[in-house]
Structure 1
Amino acid sequence: MPLNHEHQLTILRDILMNHQSDCCGTVSECEQLERLVQSLLTNDQITDDVKSMLNDVYYYSQSGKYSADLDQHITNHQNQLSQWVTDFNTYS
């Protein structure tokens, strides 16, 4: 059974929350973020302001995936992670 957009947003938010609280993550989590974002961007039920945030999350995950030090990348983006988690909480 495929995940609906609400479940996808919840998973995306959970990964971002883990990055924010743990200050570490994995390349596979970045890849999962990318897949979730790509799926959500094609969904007509997602508003333009959420799509804008999703594009930012996609860039974050792309940069993290290819970063020489993923944990430092996550630490450097703590402010954005906090903001995204807060914002996505209002949409789920």
Structure 2
Amino acid sequence: MPLSHQDQVSLLKDILNNHQTDCCGSVSECEQLERLVKSLMVNTQIDQNVKSILQEVYNYSQYGAQTADLDEHILSNQGNLSQWVSNIDSYS
């Protein structure tokens, strides 16, 4: 059963919140973020302002999936993580 766009946004925010709170994550979480963002980017129900945030999240997740030190990547993006969740909330 496919997830609704609201479920996808919730899952996206959950993963970002976990990265922000735990200061660590996994490559599979970054890959999941990539898949969620791709799906949401083509959704016409998503606010255009959220799509610009999604592009930033996509770049973050792509780099995270390929970096040798994922925890450091997450740590260096702490400010972005909380800002992205906050901005997505304000447009959702």
Q: Please classify the TM superposition score into its range, dividing by the shorter chain length.
A: over 0.9
What is the 5 A alignment of 1:4-83? 4-83=4-83
Q: Which amino acid letter does the alignment assign opposite residue 70 of structure 1?
A: L
Q: Is the 8 A contact 2:40 2:46 kept in 1?
A: yes
Q: Aligned-pair RMSD on alpha carbons?
A: 0.9
Identity of aligned residues (%): 61
**CA distance, structure 2, for counterparts of residue 88 and residue 53 of structure 1:** 7
Q: Is the 8 A contact 2:53 2:84 kept in 1?
A: yes
- Residue 60 of structure 1: how far off its partner (Å): 0.1
Q: Secondary structure at the match of 2:18?
A: helix
Q: How many residues are matched?
A: 92
**CA distance, structure 1, for counterparts of residue 47 and residue 90 of structure 2:** 13
When normalised by structure 1's length, the TM-score is 0.96
Deviation per CA, 1:40-89: give whole Å up to 9, x if none: 00100011110000000000000111111000000000010010111122
**CA distance, structure 2, for counterparts of residue 74 and residue 83 of structure 1:** 14
Q: Which amino acid letter does the alignment assign opposite residue 76 of structure 1?
A: S
When normalised by structure 2's length, the TM-score is 0.96
**CA distance, structure 1, for counterparts of residue 87 and residue 52 of structure 2:** 12
Q: Which amino acid letter does the alignment assign opposite residue 74 of structure 1?
A: I
Q: Please, which runs of 5 or more residues in structure 1 have no aligned partner?
A: none
